[in-house]
């Protein structure tokens, strides 16, 4: 009898093993269910920014998730939301947009290879084990390969929607060019990492007639690009609703799945110039910040300038933008304080002169030597026009690199401080950088120029 009990025990173990394997297989094909549980060390209450981004879809068509490296922007945020829309199977805690019908979606990354290795792998699983990604295996009806030099890439996926219809997901890459984004209407477009402005614009057009969603999830390694400035007009995160878009940032502190040991290890491997972008989601300055010093080290709370301190202003003229910066010098400490600013476009000189005189008619100034060029008014030089309107002006030294060096020396020695109220100056400072060839990027830098003239 003993051998029979042993046989039954062995058969039971084998059956149990089969059941466990089947349970594991089914679980692997329902990966989406493991995200944002109600309890546990990775419970959803610990991810308020991820949830806020998804909830904002109920109100905003355009959303940006500006995130540090490894915080879950691709899989836990963009990928999860895309999966919910494709299947129509929304979790009980869902507060965002809901589609009651099958949807047409795109998921796009930088290149065909990165799209395959990141987006495709997260959503579909490995090519040899399709259905083990975020999209449930039993929801995938069919899929088609892409004709490309990059092997094992998927072009189109067909997904069962809870309404009974079939959702369609297309994988794209920015390297295909803007023409790949022409044509068809879409309900949801996920852009993993930032595209060029023309591709982003096409995505807005593709979702316009469907009242669809454009989701941008990115780590800002390219600095203040055109697309980033659409979400951060002054180089800063605006108040909700100001731009008509939703933007939220996430740092390593918003990622409880990252241990302190992991963060310490990652920190050491990240180049210094990219640490803000990769750990805090703060846009890096491309090839290099011209003044690589945290602006908080320069800012001071506003105070009343003592009457005996010498003051001056600097002027950068132009029809598209005229900028003025005022400074006051504390002789005792040797510190130059930038205390006021004026920046306005498409106005006649008289308007700018009135703004300058309002800060003190007696204050002397220096002007961009470019003001010696003729204006559209009978060939009269802009410099002479401003002088005739009552300004006390001389020409500034426009030696760019020498001027930048002088400003930098004041900064690092603590001799240059900026009033915290100078919001336009802060907007320019946050994106003042050099390009790949080491040249100053001449975009939205008028107050940076006036700072150089003033120094």
Q: Which among 280, 314, 345 is the end of a domain?
A: 280
Distance CA(353)–CA(361), nearest Å, equals 10
HEC states along 299-342? EECCCCCCCCCCEEEEEECCCCCEEEEEEEEECCCCEEEEEEEE
18 part of a folded domain: no
Does residue 275 share a domain with residue 301? no
User: Which residues make beta-bridge pairs with 104?
Assistant: 168
Digits of tens for pLDDT over the chain (455 positions)?
A: 555 555 556 666 666 565 556 555 565 679 999 999 999 999 999 999 999 999 999 999 999 999 999 999 999 999 999 999 999 999 999 999 999 999 999 999 999 999 999 999 999 999 999 999 999 999 999 999 998 889 999 999 999 999 999 999 999 999 999 999 998 999 999 999 999 999 999 999 999 999 999 999 999 887 777 888 888 876 677 777 777 899 999 999 999 999 999 998 888 888 776 788 889 888 765 556 788 788 888 999 999 999 999 999 998 887 778 899 999 999 999 999 999 999 988 888 888 989 889 998 899 999 888 766 545 444 457 888 888 888 888 888 888 888 888 998 899 899 999 999 998 898 888 778 777 677 887 878 899 999 999 98
Does residue 173 share a domain with residue 121? yes
Does residue 312 share a domain with residue 273? no
Q: Which among 230, 257, 280 is the end of a domain?
A: 280
Distance CA(416)–CA(151), nearest Å, equals 56
Structure-block tokens of residue 59:
């109100």
Does residue 158 share a domain with residue 65? yes
16 part of a folded domain: no
Does residue 302 share a domain with residue 272? no
CB of 54 closer than 8 Å to CB of 237: no
Does residue 313 share a domain with residue 385? yes
Q: Which among 280, 303, 319 is the end of a domain?
A: 280
The CA R_g of the chain, rounded to the nearest whole Å, is 29
Does residue 259 share a domain with residue 302? no
199 part of a folded domain: yes
Does residue 125 share a domain with residue 236? yes
Structure-block tokens of residue 112:
């065909």
261 part of a folded domain: yes
Q: What is the domain-level CATH number for residue 44? A: 3.40.50.300
Does residue 164 share a domain with residue 40? yes
Query: How many domains does one find in the chain?
Result: 2
Q: What is the domain-level CATH number for residue 407? A: 3.30.420.280
24 part of a folded domain: no
72 part of a folded domain: yes
117 part of a folded domain: yes
Does residue 257 share a domain with residue 317? no
Does residue 256 share a domain with residue 199? yes
Does residue 270 share a domain with residue 391? no
At 258, phi and psi to the nearest 5?
-90, 120
**Host domain of residue 441:** 295-454
10 part of a folded domain: no
Distance CA(226)–CA(233), nearest Å, equals 9
């Amino acid at each position: 009898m003993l051998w029979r009990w042993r046989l039954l025990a062995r058969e039971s173990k084998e059956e149990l093993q089969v059941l466990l394997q089947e349970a594991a297989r089914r679980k692997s094909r329902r990966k989406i269910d493991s995200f944002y549980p109600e309890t546990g060390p990775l419970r959803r209450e610990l991810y308020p920014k991820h949830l806020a981004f998804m909830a904002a879809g109920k109100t905003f068509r355009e959303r940006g998730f500006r995130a540090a490296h490894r915080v879950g922007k691709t899989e836990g945020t963009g990928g999860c939301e895309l999966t919910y829309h494709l299947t129509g199977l929304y979790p009980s805690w869902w507060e965002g947009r809901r589609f009651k019908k099958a949807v047409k979606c795109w998921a796009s990354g930088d290149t065909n290879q990165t799209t395959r290795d990141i987006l495709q792998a997260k959503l579909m699983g490995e090519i040899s084990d399709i259905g083990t990604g975020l999209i449930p295996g039993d929801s995938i009806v069919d899929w088609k390969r892409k004709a490309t030099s990059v092997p094992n890439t998927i072009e189109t996926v067909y997904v069962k929607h809870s309404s009974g219809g079939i959702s369609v997901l297309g994988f794209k890459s920015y390297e295909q060019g803007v023409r790949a984004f022409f044509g068809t209407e879409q309900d949801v477009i996920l852009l993993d990492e930032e595209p060029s402005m023309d591709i982003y614009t096409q995505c807005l057009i593709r979702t316009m007639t469907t009242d669809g969603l454009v989701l941008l999830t990115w780590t800002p390694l390219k600095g203040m690009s055109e697309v980033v400035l659409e979400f951060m007009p002054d180089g800063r995160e605006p108040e909700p609703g100001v731009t008509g878009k939703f933007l939220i940032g996430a740092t390593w502190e918003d990622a409880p799945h990252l241990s302190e040991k992991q963060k310490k290890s990652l920190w050491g491997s990240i180049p210094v110039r990219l640490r803000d972008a990769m750990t805090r989601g703060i846009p890096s300055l491309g090839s290099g910040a011209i003044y690589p010093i945290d602006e908080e080290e320069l800012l001071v709370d506003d105070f009343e300038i003592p009457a005996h301190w010498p003051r001056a202003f600097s002027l950068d003229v132009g029809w598209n933008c005229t900028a003025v910066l005022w400074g006051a010098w504390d002789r005792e400490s040797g510190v130059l304080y930038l205390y006021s600013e004026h920046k306005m476009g498409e106005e006649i000189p008289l308007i700018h002169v009135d703004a300058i005189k309002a800060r003190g008619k007696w204050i002397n100034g220096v002007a961009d030597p470019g003001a010696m060029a003729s204006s559209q008014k009978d060939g009269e030089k802009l410099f002479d026009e401003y002088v005739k309107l009552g300004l006390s002006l001389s020409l500034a030294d426009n030696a760019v690199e020498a001027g930048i060096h002088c400003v930098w020396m004041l900064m690092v020695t603590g001799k240059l401080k900026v009033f915290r109220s100078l919001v336009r100056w802060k907007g320019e400072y946050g994106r003042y950088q050099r390009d790949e060839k080491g040249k100053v990027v001449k975009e939205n830098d008028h107050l940076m120029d006036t700072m150089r003239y003033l120094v």
